[in-house]
Structure 1
Amino acid sequence: MMSRWRKAAFLFVCVSFAIFDLGSAAQAQDARWRITKERWSASDEKAWQDFVAALGAADCWTFDECIKSPANPYRHTDPKTRFYVDCADMPYVLRAYFAWKNGLPFAWQSAMQSSDGPGGDIRYSSYGNVVVARDSVPRTASGVNAIPILHNLVNVVSTAMFRRHSMHDDPVMFSDTYSPRLDRDAIVPGTIAYDVNGHASLVWRVESGGRILIFSSHPDHSLSRSHLGKEFLRTGPELGSIFQKFRPIEVVGAKRAANGALVGGSIVAASNADIPDFSLEQYQGNPPGDPHRWRTASWMWNGENLDFYTYLRSRLSAGELEYKPVDELRAMMQSLCFDLRSRKQAVEISLGRGIQNMDPPHRLPDNIYGTHGVWELYSTPSRDARLKTGFREMYELVVEFVKMDMVDAPRLDYDGDDLPGDLLAAWWEQNAACDISYVNSAGRTVELSIDMIVDRLYDLSFDPYQCVERRWGAKGEEAATCRDGAEKTRWYEAQRYLRNQIDRTYDVDMGYTVEDLERGPWGLRTGRGVEQGPEVDIRAWLEGFRSRQTASGEIANPPVTP
């Protein structure tokens, strides 16, 4: 009988769906997983990194598209199969897929238990989870069908698998992943980035300037690409944030069949002490302190006291960290453009299912960020919160760049004499390069831009029951084609405070009626949202700053215009 803890493992943040359509029996035979290698070698790990990097760089917008794209060198060996995975599943399914294609062993946590005690939610446990069951790919001479194993992973894996104590080192119920050092040799493609608010991504590139590029799947099966920023919260070791890598494993005690396949034996994992790049640096700080006192950790680099995220970039830079402010702005806008295009696909999937034509439920889910059913599949509150955080982070960084330029900070690599003007020029350049549009309820295409999105960022509806115009924050004449009635309009207005909130509060009750939302009170811990979102309009800030410079005679040129 399935234990209650194994059953609990099926309650997860990132809803997962089966891998299906196995094709004929003959095709299924092509999917045999024969384990021929006792362990992952250094060359296997490098090939894994290259595999992930290629998929991350590919022009594909769902996991299934990526697996079937030219970026996947194994695609021609697959049986007729469609892959549907979510954020938590993606690292596991990709790792298992690669292991299958290369005759490598694979094992996984099959059940977790909350350290909070009986009844604890393994998705959001305050003290993390412990492994209570494990499984592995059977080792037989004829091999086993890989597709059901991948199917099983999709049904078992959840973000709870990543929410485990980084210092635990059980040789039997070991964790699948470990905490790595913070440097370019350890944070590589295939490294997991775990957001304790219920999201997991894979690193696919670390740029020379230390920016970490990530990609992830979503409940609607769309794929997004971004860079790792402050939306990935740093916490203590008991929750496993932020970086994790798959733990080295090997098969011991197996016999080798005539065809080279390993038969029998058992899986043994490397202990933390035996992993060369294992480190608690992301909790201890630098110089190392007590990992349990992670809130007070300091981050010193080259004699300078930094915040964690600046320290991370410094550690991952190929040389001394220097900000090229104009290039940074371009990169951030390109990343946000990717996010917006991914959001467009998510909205279109919801529209294609006709969710906007359904009557809304009487109450919101118990928590809009982590639930199940239609809301989990087609709403976008978590995605939108990360998007808003990205705009906010860009705003803060650009303001900081201008301030650094005013004092000629050594970390700023800028030789011009009008940084606000050059930043504005880059803004309009990237704004023109980002093509965003949607088809309204009347069937007409509406063109948008990053600049327009900034103006309506807190109007973008995350509610899948609302019209496409409201999903894209339409106002005035643009909103006239929306066919929502009075009830949905009331919900849209009442949800304004939730749209203002960029912090995801997974542990707060949010199952309110529209009347509850309208009454308030509002605040981060009320579950009803906040009265005002943070400032994100960096273009307006730059124009205002430059106008003041012009008025004071600091620069003679007029403000940059598109």
Structure 2
Amino acid sequence: MANNKTLVALAIVLSSTSFSAMADGKKPIGWQIKNKTWNKSFEKSYEEFVATLGKGKKSGACHTTSDCLKSPVANPRYYNLNPEGLSDVYSDCADLPYILRAYFSWMNDLPFTYPVNLTPAPIKSPELPALLAELERLNLELEKAGFLKKPIIKAQIRSVRKKIYGDKDTDIRYNSFGNTLVQKRYVKNGDNINTILEGVANSISTASFRTDASSDMTNELFRDTYPVAINRNSIKPGTVLYDPNGHIAVVYEVTTNGKVHLIDAHPDNSLTAITYGEKFSQTNVEIGGGFSNWRPFSVEAGVNAVSNDELPDYSLEQFEKGKKFIFNNTEMDFYEYVRNKLSVGNLVYNPVVELTEMMDEICHDVKERVAAVDASIKAGLSTQNHPDKLPDNIYGTDGDWESYSTPSRDARLKASIREGRALMIKMIEGHRNSDPAIRYQGHDLIAELKATYAKESKACSFDIKRTNGTIKSFNLDHVLKNIFKLSFDPYHCIELRWGMLDAESLQSCNSNKDKMEWYQAEQGLRNTIDRNYSLKMDFSLKELSGASISRVKEENISIEDVLKN
């Protein structure tokens, strides 16, 4: 007979298990909404789910969202409940928050909803009524217009739409004034989880997050997330981070020294682990970037979402773009402010530890890039002819370029290196000026930083299989010194993708003249660190060479140079 302790333990396990399962111990494919309200207990469980999954990814236990959901390391609580009929899960960056939320909701018999239709939000201007009236008049006129007059009216319509919606109204992922939610999909009892996950992948884009962050609707069209205050109680595992330049990530850990660790997904279905910094842009409230949490809601008696006034951590402080932030009477930029606010106690920097952690984070990003470039080579794009033109914008497009190019990934990597250089300058100058926030107890800071740089560079090594099959070994120092030579173009050979311009590597590459000319013409784009999704980039090779975007000069972002002084 079982003893009392065993029975009590079993009762606790059973009572804490909020999900239902079939007799074989697997979750039914059909959705069951037995828990109709998202409460604090479920939100806490969701935090734990995301935290464990993120740490599992960072440890190397899995490499895609689907892998992580099926991993006993990354998903110990639910992996063995996955039914055989659960399809492989696809997720790019925008899908990831909704995919994770949907999966958890399904496992816990909770309601779930996601946007399926948005429209560009108009400008907030006294001229808006007149512009909308003019647009309506032109649309009516277009219906009656003859063959010769239609092109003229269409041009007038485009001009008016530009005034209403901004330069990028044709792509709601990057428009100037954000989007308005028109329709949402609510899960019903019996819905197939595979159908829901596929629906998320087909419906969600970064445009789904590009809505007014101050929106306070609580009916069926409520905004799924809300902006939060910058503190440790608000920014936590599961928090969504939206970069208005077209990227989404999910927080999985906030360290005691204020660093925010996130996971993000990519069009090639890979999942990566990154760290928050200046590679994520600030924005205005109308397009809703920054940190946000999921808005709790209930379907107990119709749809009822919690309003902003009822959310203790609702805040618009992160949208104060351009201002200097004050912490402990010290003026600082937003990114330093975030780290100080999220640190346990007063943030104290150890320069050697900061450099070690920074090099480790950059190394991780580089190794993720190795996998991305290898996927492009495996897909065979480097053997295809180069297209006659670049995409409309290299950072946000679709098709093979979106799946296998790396301009956004490379820009974020450069931004991290630039941020690391600035941090090292701050560390060295602060130490010289006896800044109490800089703590170093050694005898020669510069010498120790140089030794740390060399050690961490050497420790971060990887092999590249060249086109001719030979192996070339690199360490992090090669990437840092050649960062502006690394090609983002998926039609280039692996040697150009890694900036290998020595004679032996170029002979292995064996690219034709056209591809080498594209590589040379794209130097200005490789020199660009801060992404701009509104720029016209659909140039031919001849046009690109003379375009203004090709005149961007290489910026000195070298970390090693700082350590020489």
TM-score interval, smaller chain: 0.7 to 0.9
Alignment of 1:316 onto 2:342: yes
Alignment of 1:541 onto 2:552: no
Residue pairs, 1:47-66, within 5 angstroms: 47-58=45-56, 59=60, 60-66=62-68
Which amino acid is 2:305 matched to?
A: A
Partner of 2:136: none
Indicate which of 30, 41, 44 corresponds to 1:43.
41
| Shift in Å, 1:29 | 8.4
Kept in 1, the 8 Å contact 2:424–2:559? The answer is: yes
Shift of the 441–348 alpha-carbon distance from structure 1 to 2, 3 Å rule, reads same
Using the alignment, how far apart are the partners of 1:438 and 1:69 within structure 2?
Answer: 28
| Shift in Å, 1:120 | 4.4
Partner of 1:33: 31
Indicate which of 527, 534, 537 corresponds to 1:510.
537
Which amino acid is 2:514 matched to?
A: E
| Shift in Å, 1:28 | 11
Long gaps (5+) in structure 2 = 1-23, 123-163
Using the alignment, how far apart are the partners of 1:171 and 1:532 within structure 2?
Answer: 49
Which amino acid is 1:429 matched to?
A: K
Partner of 1:247: 295
Kept in 2, the 8 Å contact 1:62–1:221? The answer is: yes
Indicate which of 459, 481, 486 corresponds to 1:455.
481
Kept in 2, the 8 Å contact 1:86–1:221? The answer is: yes
Of stretches 419-428 and 187-196 in structure 1, the one that deviates more from structure 2 is 419-428
What per-residue deviation string (whole Å, max 9, x for no partner) do you get for residues 108-166 of structure 1? Answer: 2221111144754311111111111112111x3xx322110111011001101111111
What per-residue deviation string (whole Å, max 9, x for no partner) do you get for residues 371-411 of structure 1? Answer: 11111111111111001111111111111111111101111
Using the alignment, how far apart are the partners of 2:198 and 2:182 within structure 1?
Answer: 21
What per-residue deviation string (whole Å, max 9, x for no partner) do you get for residues 317-351 of structure 1? Answer: 00101111111111111111111111111111111
| Shift in Å, 1:498 | 0.8
Residue pairs, 1:66-145, within 5 angstroms: 66-70=68-72, 71-72=74-75, 73-80=77-84, 81-116=87-122, 117=164, 119-138=169-188, 140=189, 143-145=190-192
Alignment of 1:218 onto 2:266: yes
Partner of 1:15: none
Which amino acid is 2:278 matched to?
A: K
Partner of 2:233: 185
Aligned residue pairs total 488
**TM-score, structure 1 length as denominator?**
0.84
Partner of 2:308: 272
What per-residue deviation string (whole Å, max 9, x for no partner) do you get for residues 55-95 of structure 1? Answer: 11112222122112121121222234211110000000001
Partner of 1:291: none
RMSD between aligned alpha carbons? 1.7
Using the alignment, how far apart are the partners of 2:102 and 2:317 within structure 1?
Answer: 28
Indicate which of 474, 492, 496 corresponds to 2:500.
474
Shift of the 171–43 alpha-carbon distance from structure 1 to 2, 3 Å rule, reads closer
Using the alignment, how far apart are the partners of 1:480 and 1:327 within structure 2?
Answer: 41
Alignment of 1:155 onto 2:202: yes
Using the alignment, how far apart are the partners of 1:429 and 1:267 within structure 2?
Answer: 57
Long gaps (5+) in structure 1 = 1-25, 254-265, 285-293, 523-527, 546-562
| Shift in Å, 1:432 | 2.1
Using the alignment, how far apart are the partners of 1:209 and 1:150 within structure 2?
Answer: 36
Alignment of 1:370 onto 2:396: yes
Partner of 1:558: none
Using the alignment, how far apart are the partners of 1:447 and 1:530 within structure 2?
Answer: 32
Identity score, percent: 38
| Shift in Å, 1:305 | 1.7
SS of structure 2 residue aligned to 1:343: helix
Partner of 1:483: 510
| Shift in Å, 1:268 | 1.4
SS of structure 2 residue aligned to 1:33: coil
Kept in 1, the 8 Å contact 2:70–2:82? The answer is: no
Partner of 1:206: 254
Indicate which of 512, 537, 553 corresponds to 1:532.
553
Using the alignment, how far apart are the partners of 1:419 and 1:49 within structure 2?
Answer: 39
Using the alignment, how far apart are the partners of 1:426 and 1:40 within structure 2?
Answer: 47
Shift of the 41–125 alpha-carbon distance from structure 1 to 2, 3 Å rule, reads same
SS of structure 1 residue aligned to 2:472: strand
Which amino acid is 1:167 matched to?
A: S
Using the alignment, how far apart are the partners of 1:414 and 1:146 within structure 2?
Answer: 53
Alignment of 1:395 onto 2:421: yes
What per-residue deviation string (whole Å, max 9, x for no partner) do you get for residues 280-330 of structure 1? Answer: 12124xxxxxxxxx43x3412112222111111111000101111111111
Using the alignment, how far apart are the partners of 2:89 and 2:461 within structure 1?
Answer: 28
| Shift in Å, 1:224 | 1.6
Kept in 1, the 8 Å contact 2:228–2:292? The answer is: yes
Kept in 1, the 8 Å contact 2:487–2:496? The answer is: yes
Using the alignment, how far apart are the partners of 2:68 and 2:389 within structure 1?
Answer: 37
Which amino acid is 1:399 matched to?
A: I
Partner of 2:528: 501
Kept in 1, the 8 Å contact 2:424–2:562? The answer is: no
Kept in 1, the 8 Å contact 2:27–2:82? The answer is: no
Kept in 2, the 8 Å contact 1:169–1:271? The answer is: yes
Which amino acid is 1:535 matched to?
A: N
Using the alignment, how far apart are the partners of 1:27 and 1:153 within structure 2?
Answer: 26
Using the alignment, how far apart are the partners of 2:218 and 2:234 within structure 1?
Answer: 23
| Shift in Å, 1:425 | 1.5
Which amino acid is 1:91 matched to?
A: P
| Shift in Å, 1:41 | 2.2
Kept in 1, the 8 Å contact 2:33–2:110? The answer is: yes
Which amino acid is 1:133 matched to?
A: Q
Kept in 1, the 8 Å contact 2:458–2:477? The answer is: no
Using the alignment, how far apart are the partners of 2:370 and 2:67 within structure 1?
Answer: 17
Of stretches 270-279 and 28-37 in structure 1, the one that deviates more from structure 2 is 28-37
Partner of 2:446: 420
